[in-house]
Amino acid sequence: MNAIIETPETNTTPTPPALSVTQAEVRVRTFDEQGRAQYGRPIDTKTEFCSLGEQLGAVMHASFGRTMDPRLVCLRAATGQGEAIDSDGGFLIQRDFASDLVKRIYNLGEMLTRVKHIPITTGANGLKMFMGEEISRATGSRWGGIQVYRISEGATVVASKMKVRQLELKLKKLMGLCYVTEELSQDTAAMEAVIREAFPKEMSFVMEDEILNGTGAGQMQGILNSPALVTVAKETGQGAATIQKENIDKMWSRMYAGGRANAVWLINQDVEPQLDNMQMVIGVGGVPVYLAPGESVETPFARLKGRPVIPVEYCSTLGTVGDIVLVDLSQYLMIDKEGPLGVSSIHVRFINDEEVFRFTMRNDGQPTWITSLAPYKGTATQSAYVALGTR
């Protein structure tokens, strides 16, 4: 791992006067029970907020020039230049809430739940991994050159040397804005519900789109832009904007054997009518190739070659590369650092009587394969990422 050590920052902000007993008691009655239920541990109401909505309400209260909640002091953002936060004097999201937002982001998407995810610790700005450079399954090439021999007693063998390559990920910033009215800020439960739903969904959407389509320039590298992508050509005489059983058979044959147990089909919904009508001809009849949702015990997804078929918005429209993709998402690596960091401002939307919350998350991702794989026996290359060519 390539680690950039960050200098710890010292908070010199003076601690404001403590809240009155009456105010503290009100907060305990309102939020402590909710916090215990949500996080499964006692909540120290003198130093911690019991819900994200309560903290956001306190931020807005302070931003409009009112008394600052003393619990915000320890969550004040850096006031000088820092690696993660700009010098705008906002407030960090409490760690419990940040971790919960990250969990929601990764649990929302069908793709994000399947990729390999590595959290990056404080002090690191990225990740370097050394992997065997395996581009062929031929003897002497597997695992980058590891080779074993059967030998007789007293015989010697030729030494083998493993070739390695470096996979490097560097954290990139993903930022989201959320506008909250003064009226909504008065209802902390409603404000929390809005942010907990809208922010993770939008973050999840962008990240999943990049997993498939990302350019790698200032964003994650997508599978469709990977040099390891195998693209299966259309059939001779195949009509435009169609998918045939032969396409599916050939895509399946190009998925490397070790990835089939994890593989999923990602499709644009425009593709579904093509799959619904797909059959394997037997005599004068045929049997369905595609099992629609509900036709097997493994719902809610349809099945193709026994693997889930997942409609996603990020796939291309019917007839273009990326409309149907067969992928082993465990061969996609993602890193992220801590949770979303939050800061706020009343100035951006001052004339609208709105507070702006800005959430920043740093992550990166890319396919772990850098090229397709030549098989041990056979001629057609294989990969963890297979797409159908333009028709």
**Mean pLDDT of the region 178-198:** 70
Q: How confident is the model at residue 72 (pLDDT cuts 50, 70, 90)?
A: low
* pLDDT (0 to 100) of residue 141: 76
pLDDT of the residue at 203: 87
Same domain, 92 and 198: yes
Residue 79: pLDDT over 50: no
Centre a 10 Å sphere on the Cβ of residue 297 and count the other Cβ atoms it contains: 5
Q: pLDDT (tens digit, 9 = 90+) per residue, 134-169?
A: 777 787 777 777 777 787 777 777 776 677 777 899
pLDDT given at position 281 = 67
Query: Are 97 and 209 contained in the same domain?
Result: yes
Averaged pLDDT for residues 102-125: 84
Number of domains in the chain: 2
Arithmetic mean of pLDDT, 353-377: 86
Is 15 part of a structural domain of the chain? no
Strand ordering across the sheet containing 385-388: 230-232, 385-388, 324-327, 264-267, 307-311, 302-304, 290-291
Identify whether 151 is part of a domain.
no
**265 and 384: one domain?**
yes
Residue 281 lies in a domain: yes
Between 107-111, 247-251, 347-351, the lowest mean confidence (pLDDT) is in: 347-351
Identify the residue whose tokens are 């939008």. 202
Does position 87 have pLDDT exceeding 50, yes or no?
A: no
CB-based contact 51:94 (threshold 8 Å): no
279 lies in the same domain as 265: yes
Reported confidence tier of residue 317, pLDDT bands at 50, 70, 90: very high
Residue 127 lies in a domain: no
When pLDDT is cut at 50, 70 and 90, the band that residue 178 belongs to is confident
Beta strands in the chain (DSSP E): 116-120, 126-132, 164-170, 172-181, 230-232, 264-267, 279-282, 285-288, 290-291, 302-304, 307-311, 324-327, 332-345, 354-367, 385-388
pLDDT at residue 66 greater than cutoff 70: no
Which tops the pLDDT comparison, 36 or 286? 286
Query: What's the pLDDT at 21?
Result: 41
- Residue-level pLDDT at 228: 96
Both 178 and 300 in a single domain?
no
Between CA 285 and CA 213 the distance in angstroms is: 40
Q: 355 in a domain, yes or no?
A: yes
The verdict on 328 and 233 lying in the same domain is: yes
Instruction: Find the mean pLDDT for residues 65-89.
Output: 49
In whole angstroms, what is the distance from residue 302 CA to residue 310 CA? 8
Cis amide bond preceding 200, omega within 30: no
Are both 355 and 297 inside the same structural domain?
Answer: no
Residue indicated by tokens 């910033």: 173
Tokens representing 11?
């908070």
pLDDT at 126 over 60: yes
Share of the chain above pLDDT 70, in %: 64
Expressed as residue numbers, the domain containing 54 is 21-121+169-218+334-367
**Is residue 14 a part of any domain in this protein?**
no
Same domain assignment for residues 114 and 193: yes
Average pLDDT, the chain: 76
Same domain, 174 and 322: no
| Residue 85 predicted with pLDDT over 70 | no
- pLDDT for position 20: 45
- Torsion angle defined by CA atoms of residues 36, 38, 44 and 49, in that order, rounded to the nearest 10 degrees: -140
Asked if 274 and 211 sit in the same domain, the reply is no
359 in a structural domain:
yes
- Residues 193-243: tens digit of each pLDDT: 777 777 788 889 999 999 999 999 999 999 999 999 999 999 999 999 999
Say whether both 88 and 207 belong to one domain: yes
31 falls within a domain: yes
On whether both 271 and 311 belong to a single domain, the answer is yes
Strands 385-388 and 230-232: parallel
Instruction: Provide the percentage of residues in the chain whose pLDDT is more than 90.
Output: 37
- Which amino acid is present at 314? Y
* Range 296-314 average pLDDT: 86
Q: Which two tokens stand for residue 374?
A: 């030549």
pLDDT at 26: 43
Among candidates 246, 297, 294, which has minimal Cα distance to 274? Answer: 246
pTM to 2 decimal places = 0.71
